[in-house]
Structure 1
Amino acid sequence: MDTSQTMLTRPGTIRPAINLFAIFAVMYFHELASFQLSIDEELAAFRTDASVWIAQGRWGAYLIETFLIPHPVMPFLAPAVFGVCCVAAYLLVMDAIDKQELFVAEYACFAIFCGFPTWFFIVEFYSNIAAVGIGLTAIALALWLISKKDIPVASSHFFVAIAAGGFAISIYQSFAPAILVLGIAVTVLKVRAGNDGSLLNDLIRTVVLFDGSAIVYVVGNVIFKSITSIGTEYIESFFQPGFLFQHPMVVTGRVLEAMRGAYGLGHDTYGVVLWAVPPLLILGGWTLLKDLPRTKLLLLAAALVALLIPFGVHLITAGNLPVRSLVGAPIAVWLFAYLAVTSRNTRISIASAILLGVTIFQILVIQNYRQTSSYLVDKHDMLLAASIYNRLSETPGFDAKHAYALSVFGAQPFVTNYPKPPSSTVGYSFFEWDGGNPQRIASYMKLLGYSNLNRPTLDQVDQTVARLSTMPVWPARGSLQIRNDIVLIRLGETPSAANAQALARIADH
């Protein structure tokens, strides 16, 4: 295999790359041009030890944050890295299917590849998105390396591909099923184009790549976990394989509902119904049946499996995984969209082009709704933080040079008529997440410059929770008080889980 002239290195690639990044910039203009924090960023901004990623089994993310982007919570750069990586990954995929030149169909479908709304649920986290982009490029590189028929499984190229795949999984475990999805997509498109593709042989090579990458990931995980003592409760809490055997119908129903929402038939997942996506998928499948005289049923079956694979992990997580984990879904939808708009049947290609245009417009609507919610909640939180600190400065006994613990009861929710997807943090206030979390609130206020507020200790929470539960609710007078170097603020009527636990502890004593 001659790797000296690829889509990434041959002359004339710069213009397509610029064009693709311009499309990315349209889809993600707000992310590139603004800086609005999401939940968890207030903690990540103060993080000095990236080993939290090792505890989540994401040692690749640990390496990137430690050696490449030590402070990932920053404007522009993180989403720009994601964009550059999306472009690189797409060019590698185009080269893997021997697409020598990009036309309107390839450019238009790139909007799905990089901008399908499941991506939005992870793009909202600055601390994740650059690393995830690198992972996407890594799986594209892995599939590109094994895409040529003359590369034997025992070759150095294949071992490099396995290393790239393992590194991608170490960045985000959901890249494991994405390897299979992209491998199927490349195989289907190669066979459809007649570019010396062998369906069975290429699928076997993809499975070998998947297995080898999984082994590399597991070995690396064992090595990296041996150097940290941080608990792994967070990542382990997702896995409930026994639940499937106890409640198979419940899990099946949850998986079908997740698929329904992700592929545009549900309102709750994105806040709007992506009604143009299902017919686009149907036309893509129909294209495989109409365009190929042989192997069409096998190709269609493989393509349909690609739609299912992103939800495979749901089976061992009781049917519950956040939408941001579906990194394979954009690739699967891109495959069907690309098949449809490049159909040899003129009527199908025209209808598909119209549906693709509608889909892209609907995606932009979803993105703009999210941007509006983010903008409004950002203003709400900044004004609320300023109001709280202003009230605090007027409280008798306050000393701006003195450090205070912040003890909070209840939450102050942000109410908006814009969608607040349940699997997202968009539209949710720092003052409402976790039912009102003093660590998050104190960290957020520190980022805004209110530096003398700290999280309370467990003893301080127990000392103040009884009084907090009887105080007026913000913004009423008396809803903020100072007691023994502790700032007390009651944000809501309903106690958080931490408040309830504190009340139970003092009741036991």
Structure 2
Amino acid sequence: MLTRPNTVRQAITLFVIFVAMYFSELASFSLSIDEELTAFRTDPSIWIIQGRWGAYLIERFLLPHPVMPFLTPSVFGAGCVAAYLLIMDIIDKRELSIAEYACFAIFCGFPTWFFIVEFYSNIAAVGIGLFASALALWLICKNDVSPLSRRFLGAVTAGGLAISIYQSFAPAILVLGIAISILQARTDTRKSFVKDLFRVAILLVGATMFYVIGNAVFRSFVSGSNAYFDSLSQPGFLFQHPIVVVGRVLESIGEVYGVRHGTYDNALWAIPLLLVLGGWTLLTESPYARLLLTTAAVAALVVPFGLHFLAAGSMPVRSLVGVPIAVWLLAYVAVTSGNSRIRFASAILLAVALFQIQVIQNYRQASSYLVDKHDTLIAGAIYERLSNTPGFDAKRTYVLSIFGSRPFVTNYPRPPASTVGYSFFEWDGGNPWRIASYMKLLGYSNLTGPTPDQIDSTIAHLSTMPVWPAPGSVEIQDNIALIRLGETPSYAYQQALARMANH
């Protein structure tokens, strides 16, 4: 293990790099969609329903109120630093070079992370899961151990905990295992790449079994289902439309690795060039099994998308926790190449890539800041209009029945796979429960969402009211506040209109 002074100094330096990559996130407190509901949650068993019992334990006993600034992204950063130091120790890097420090910025700051960092309720647990994944591999890779040893069982436990925090850590563990095996084989001809990879596979099987058993135990205490989570599982679609699924997966791979602009809504062309140089370095400089190591590195780029095949070819970008590891592997191989020309070109491309990543991050931060201002002003304006409406009583609690949405329009990018830049007043076509919860967070505490019967009783009048901010777009009927924000109703209100038409 690294000596203690070195470890502390390196950890501090790595965390400073993390702060540089995430300064805007650490210095702000911009709520994302869903966090207006999470902030009022008192029972974290929703994680068990999603099969994430590790996340349940973290929220239940460690972070009972995860929607908070600075601390949760800092925990993620600490997890990245700890995981990286374990990886460096496995490959016997006692003194980190500029290349190792620079590549850490990719490891912790590749843009796919941004899609999960935007959710305070997730990010701290994900940092712990990343550390648990690296710990599992450190336990079996640092020294040759038997699958029946206590050390290996500890690795299985750590890996199972990581998967229980986020199921996507299962492919991430495999990606990290491939990366470590490649780096060890690249510098030490005594290492057996196939044997190391087989050990990683045994670890993954054991960790998955540990997760499944734990999931069965926790599910026995909690009933219920999650419609969104269940909708992601569509294995039958693969057999019915295999070409469609493969096409979607290939499209996702191209976008995530910067070949296309769709995922980030910004250029990231330096990354695919860096990946090519890393692959070329493995193919030409490895002491043995060059084709095998290169093939494994390419496989590591694809493994994170394995769950896409079970989800009709589409999964949230935030689920790709293995992607930063795969990109880091090939970037690290490229910038440490024995060929000086490749090393020089890779260093330039890495610098360009980090700049492009910062552009993506800062565009996202600009969108978050502006939509936060927009929503705060809209909430204040609605409540002021409501308080000036005849019959308003500040001591009463009002049900919000809202027809339509109020979109936020900006010239800054709003990535389609993200919630960044999207208003609470437009999501779900204008969801009164989300809007009421968001306004309660801002201090407008006497508001709540409607029941289906209250929607039905107000839909007829709402559909004839003028659209906000016109006079008459806010009314009060008994304890129900009627607000028409837009022309097009949400799905729930469309159903109410249909029921009204049928009667």
TM-score by length of 1: 0.98
Mapped contact 1:72–1:78 kept (Cα < 8 A): yes
Per-residue Cα deviation, 1:205-240 (whole angstroms, up to 9, x for no partner): 111111111111111111111111222433221011
| Structure 1 residue 82 corresponds to structure 2 residue 66 | no
Tell me the distance in 2 between the aligned counterparts of 1:179 and 1:100: 23
Q: Which residue of 1 aligns with 2:389?
A: 395
- Matched residue type, 1:15: R
- Matched residue type, 1:335: L
| Structure 1 residue 38 corresponds to structure 2 residue 52 | no
Please report how far the alpha carbon of residue 168 of structure 1 lies from its aligned counterpart in structure 2 after TM superposition: 0.4
The counterpart of 1:167, out of the listed 161, 171, 185, is: 161
- Matched residue type, 1:46: F
Mapped contact 1:412–1:492 kept (Cα < 8 A): yes
Mapped contact 1:97–1:195 kept (Cα < 8 A): no
Mapped contact 1:123–1:129 kept (Cα < 8 A): yes
Mapped contact 2:189–2:288 kept (Cα < 8 A): no
Tell me the distance in 1 between the aligned counterparts of 2:497 and 2:292: 61
Farther-moved stretch of structure 1 (236-245 vs 120-129): 236-245
Matches within 5 A, 1:161-200: 161-194=155-188, 196-200=190-194
Q: Which residue of 2 aligns with 1:494?
A: 488
Please report how far the alpha carbon of residue 10 of structure 1 lies from its aligned counterpart in structure 2 after TM superposition: 3.0
Per-residue Cα deviation, 1:436-466 (whole angstroms, up to 9, x for no partner): 0000000000000000010111110111111
The counterpart of 1:415, out of the listed 406, 409, 415, is: 409
- Matched residue type, 2:493: N
Q: Which residue of 1 aligns with 2:339?
A: 345
Please report how far the alpha carbon of residue 26 of structure 1 lies from its aligned counterpart in structure 2 after TM superposition: 0.6
SS at match of 1:387: helix
Mapped contact 1:98–1:195 kept (Cα < 8 A): no
Q: Which residue of 1 aligns with 2:476?
A: 482
Mapped contact 2:86–2:134 kept (Cα < 8 A): yes
Matches within 5 A, 1:209-248: 209-248=203-242
Tell me the distance in 2 between the aligned counterparts of 1:150 and 1:56: 35
| Structure 1 residue 321 corresponds to structure 2 residue 318 | no
Matches within 5 A, 1:117-156: 117-156=111-150
Please report how far the alpha carbon of residue 99 of structure 1 lies from its aligned counterpart in structure 2 after TM superposition: 1.1
Tell me the distance in 2 between the aligned counterparts of 1:177 and 1:459: 45
The counterpart of 2:440, out of the listed 419, 437, 446, is: 446
Tell me the distance in 1 between the aligned counterparts of 2:143 and 2:6: 25
CA change 1:92–1:293 in 2 (3 A) is closer
Per-residue Cα deviation, 1:71-104 (whole angstroms, up to 9, x for no partner): 0000100000000110000000101111111010
The counterpart of 1:207, out of the listed 177, 187, 201, is: 201
Tell me the distance in 1 between the aligned counterparts of 2:112 and 2:470: 40
Provide the alpha-carbon RMSD of the alignment: 0.9
Tell me the distance in 2 between the aligned counterparts of 1:350 and 1:494: 55
- Matched residue type, 1:132: V
| Structure 1 residue 335 corresponds to structure 2 residue 334 | no
Please report how far the alpha carbon of residue 507 of structure 1 lies from its aligned counterpart in structure 2 after TM superposition: 2.4
Q: Which residue of 1 aligns with 2:16?
A: 22
Tell me the distance in 2 between the aligned counterparts of 1:442 and 1:274: 38
Q: Which residue of 1 aligns with 2:279?
A: 285
| Structure 1 residue 252 corresponds to structure 2 residue 228 | no
Q: Which residue of 2 aligns with 1:459?
A: 453
SS at match of 1:11: helix
Q: Aligned pairs, how many?
A: 503
SS at match of 1:65: helix
Tell me the distance in 2 between the aligned counterparts of 1:204 and 1:13: 30
Q: Which residue of 2 aligns with 1:105?
A: 99
- Matched residue type, 1:120: F
Per-residue Cα deviation, 1:229-286 (whole angstroms, up to 9, x for no partner): 2224332210111111111111111001100110001212001120001110000001
Please report how far the alpha carbon of residue 150 of structure 1 lies from its aligned counterpart in structure 2 after TM superposition: 2.5
Mapped contact 1:57–1:235 kept (Cα < 8 A): no
SS at match of 1:221: helix
Mapped contact 2:186–2:287 kept (Cα < 8 A): no
Please report how far the alpha carbon of residue 195 of structure 1 lies from its aligned counterpart in structure 2 after TM superposition: 6.8
| Structure 1 residue 406 corresponds to structure 2 residue 400 | yes
Tell me the distance in 1 between the aligned counterparts of 2:142 and 2:134: 14
Unaligned residue ranges in structure 1 (runs of 5+): 1-5
Please report how far the alpha carbon of residue 420 of structure 1 lies from its aligned counterpart in structure 2 after TM superposition: 0.6
Q: Which runs of 4+ in 1 moved over 4 A?
A: none
Unaligned residue ranges in structure 2 (runs of 5+): none
- Matched residue type, 2:249: V
Q: Which residue of 2 aligns with 1:95?
A: 89
Tell me the distance in 2 between the aligned counterparts of 1:248 and 1:234: 23
SS at match of 2:205: helix
SS at match of 2:402: strand
Matches within 5 A, 1:415-434: 415-434=409-428
Please report how far the alpha carbon of residue 502 of structure 1 lies from its aligned counterpart in structure 2 after TM superposition: 1.2
Tell me the distance in 2 between the aligned counterparts of 1:209 and 1:399: 62
- Matched residue type, 1:109: C
| Structure 1 residue 297 corresponds to structure 2 residue 291 | yes
Tell me the distance in 1 between the aligned counterparts of 2:206 and 2:103: 30
Mapped contact 2:189–2:287 kept (Cα < 8 A): no
Please report how far the alpha carbon of residue 11 of structure 1 lies from its aligned counterpart in structure 2 after TM superposition: 3.0
Please report how far the alpha carbon of residue 118 of structure 1 lies from its aligned counterpart in structure 2 after TM superposition: 0.1
Farther-moved stretch of structure 1 (376-385 vs 94-103): 94-103
- Matched residue type, 2:93: K
Please report how far the alpha carbon of residue 149 of structure 1 lies from its aligned counterpart in structure 2 after TM superposition: 4.3
| Structure 1 residue 11 corresponds to structure 2 residue 5 | yes
Please report how far the alpha carbon of residue 198 of structure 1 lies from its aligned counterpart in structure 2 after TM superposition: 1.2
TM-score by length of 2: 0.99
Mapped contact 2:90–2:141 kept (Cα < 8 A): yes
Tell me the distance in 2 between the aligned counterparts of 1:144 and 1:276: 31
